[in-house]
Amino acid sequence: MAAPVQSPVDTQSASTQTMTIGKALNNGLRAAMEADPKVLVMGEDVGKLGGVFRVTDGLQKDFGEHRVLDTPLAESGIVGTAIGLAVRGYRPVCEIQFEGFIFPAFDQISSQLAKLRYRTQGKLKAPVVIRVPFGGGIGAVEHHSESPESLFSHIPGLKVVSCSNPVDAYWMMQQAITSDDPVMLFEPKKLYHSSALKAPVDTTATPDPLHSSRVVRHGDSATIAAYGPSLPVALDAATAAQEEGRSLEVIDLRTLSPLDLGPVFESVRRTGRLVVVSEASSEVSLASEVAARVQQECFYSLEAPVQRVTGFDTPYPPAKLEEHFLPDLDRVLHAVDNALDW
């Protein structure tokens, strides 16, 4: 089992800072750029503005316009340019301003970036990171609240991860940048500046492996698996269930491709029940894959069918309706009830 998330401490060392997820991502980028002059940051408004969510704030001022590049509004061009830079020995970090705008770059990502190492039999590397703010909950207009992570997790050659806390945000950014394979980092935009999720980050700690899931709360009544923006909802459900005498184990999947389901299998073999929570639609999704794999590997341990709590199989709704679309505490607890009452 992977090591637990760093716990808050009363007295912080010089190497420990309390950060939001957004600040941790910024510091992770900064650390990677200080460690390797070949690391570049590129995207729409990432330079002078510091990104629309301020994740790249201050980087252009400190590292210069030659390393933090404001690009035209052309996602295909951003990723295509990054591929060329990677072939020439750089490690570009691309920001897609909002996940709904990524699809003009889909061909570059799926046909070129994901296949480059395989196509060249390993002669060429593809150390490109694509940062994707994703998910709902910010009251935005169309194309600004999507959850397309399942689409990219289906593409062989891509690695896909998602952070849910400042510690993972800080370390995942650096681990993704040092990878010689392309990594898509899905960042839960509604959690960027959440004061409730502020946590101390030890910048000298040994991080968990990039492609590993983690038990973040232990329990024995049922298991909840979630990632990214859905992880706080899962933890809230576990807290609420505890008041009713139900002990829920919560697992942060963290890595979406490849999936690390070992801890999930181990947990389900003890609890006999699983609820998977995700903002993405349920059809042909990561939630579907987790459910299928658990039922394949843990069939004789299951006491109930795997429950899925997801966004609905519709386009993302207008902002005034999004609270009805996103998985919430009531929906997760209802799924837990269904599993326990089976």
State which of 173, 202, 231 marks the end of a domain: 202
Q: In which domain, by residue range, is 242 found?
A: 214-341
Same domain, 168 and 89: yes
Same domain, 188 and 221: no
State which of 147, 182, 202 marks the end of a domain: 202
Same domain, 132 and 167: yes
Structural element, H or E, at residue 214: strand 214-217
Query: Is 327's pLDDT higher than 60?
Result: yes
Same domain, 43 and 164: yes
Calculate what percentage of the chain has a pLDDT beyond 70: 96
Same domain, 68 and 151: yes
Query: Is 97's pLDDT higher than 70?
Result: yes
Query: Is 5's pLDDT higher than 70?
Result: no
Q: How far is CA 302 from the centre of its chain?
A: 28
Q: What is the mean pLDDT of the chain?
A: 95
pLDDT of res. 14: 72
Cα gap 73→78, rounded to integer Å: 8
For residue 52, being part of any structural domain is answered with yes
Same domain, 165 and 249: no
Cα gap 61→70, rounded to integer Å: 12
For residue 32, being part of any structural domain is answered with yes
Query: Is 11's pLDDT higher than 70?
Result: no
Cα gap 53→144, rounded to integer Å: 13
Cα gap 83→66, rounded to integer Å: 17
For residue 335, being part of any structural domain is answered with yes
Query: Is 239's pLDDT higher than 60?
Result: yes
Mean pLDDT of 171-196: 97
Q: What residues contact 235, with CB distance under 8 A and at least 6 apart?
A: 216, 217, 250
For residue 2, being part of any structural domain is answered with no
Please name the residue that has the structure tokens 């001022």.
61
Between these two residues, 236 and 11, which has the higher pLDDT value? 236
Same domain, 221 and 297: yes
For residue 194, being part of any structural domain is answered with yes
What CATH number is associated with residue 160?
A: 3.40.50.970
Dihedrals φ, ψ of 162, to 5°? -145, 135
pLDDT of res. 15: 85
What CATH number is associated with residue 277?
A: 3.40.50.920
pLDDT tens column, 115-158: 999 999 999 999 999 999 999 999 999 999 999 999 999 999 99
Same domain, 191 and 248: no
State which of 176, 202, 228 marks the end of a domain: 202
pLDDT of res. 101: 96
Query: Is 273's pLDDT higher than 60?
Result: yes
Q: Tell me the whole-structure pTM to 2 decimals.
A: 0.94
Which residue numbers are catalytic? 144
Mean pLDDT of 100-124: 97
Cα gap 258→228, rounded to integer Å: 16
Q: Side by side, which strands form the sheet with 91-95? A: 68-70, 39-43, 91-95, 129-134, 183-188, 159-162, 255-257
pLDDT of res. 8: 41
Cα gap 97→310, rounded to integer Å: 24
Same domain, 269 and 328: yes
Mean pLDDT of 202-213: 96
Query: Is 276's pLDDT higher than 90?
Result: yes
Domain count, the chain: 2
pLDDT tens column, 34-45: 999 999 999 999
pLDDT tens column, 249-261: 999 999 999 999 9
- Could you tell me the pLDDT band of residue 10, with boundaries at 50, 70 and 90? very low
DSSP string covering 6-64, please? PPP-SS--TTEEEE-HHHHHHHHHHHHHHH-TTEEEEETT-SSS--TTSTTTTHHHHH-
Same domain, 195 and 54: yes
CA angle 237, 238, 241 (to 5 degrees): 85
For residue 6, being part of any structural domain is answered with no
Same domain, 115 and 160: yes
Same domain, 114 and 237: no
